[in-house]
Amino acid sequence: MARAMYEYTKTVLKKVSFNTDLFKRELEKALNRLLPYEIDELAIWLRQFTANKPDLYVCLRLVKK
């Protein structure tokens, strides 16, 4: 189940990446739901996903906390 939540989170974040506010809100929800090791994996994925999306860089700060 936990792995399914991680994959679901990635899917949702991809779909809302057009809007920074929505992306940030969904990322905050994910950080509350995911397990610590999944958050680490998500941080790696986010760095790759946002590499060509400078407007989403501000959301990376949420993961670094």
Total H helices, total E strands in the chain: 4, 0
CA-closest candidate to residue 23, choices 40, 4, 42: 42
Residue whose structure tokens are 């946002």: 50
Structural domain including 16 reads 2-64
Number of domains in the chain: 1
The confidence score (pLDDT) of residue 1 equals 60
CA-closest candidate to residue 45, choices 2, 4, 14: 14
User: pTM higher than 0.85, yes or no?
Assistant: yes
The sign of the dihedral angle between the CA atoms of 22, 23, 29, 32 is negative
Average pLDDT, the chain: 92
pLDDT band at 18 (very low <50, low <70, confident <90, very high): very high
CA-closest candidate to residue 34, choices 10, 17, 61: 10
The confidence score (pLDDT) of residue 3 equals 85
Q: pLDDT (tens digit, 9 = 90+) per residue, 29-42?
A: 999 999 999 999 99
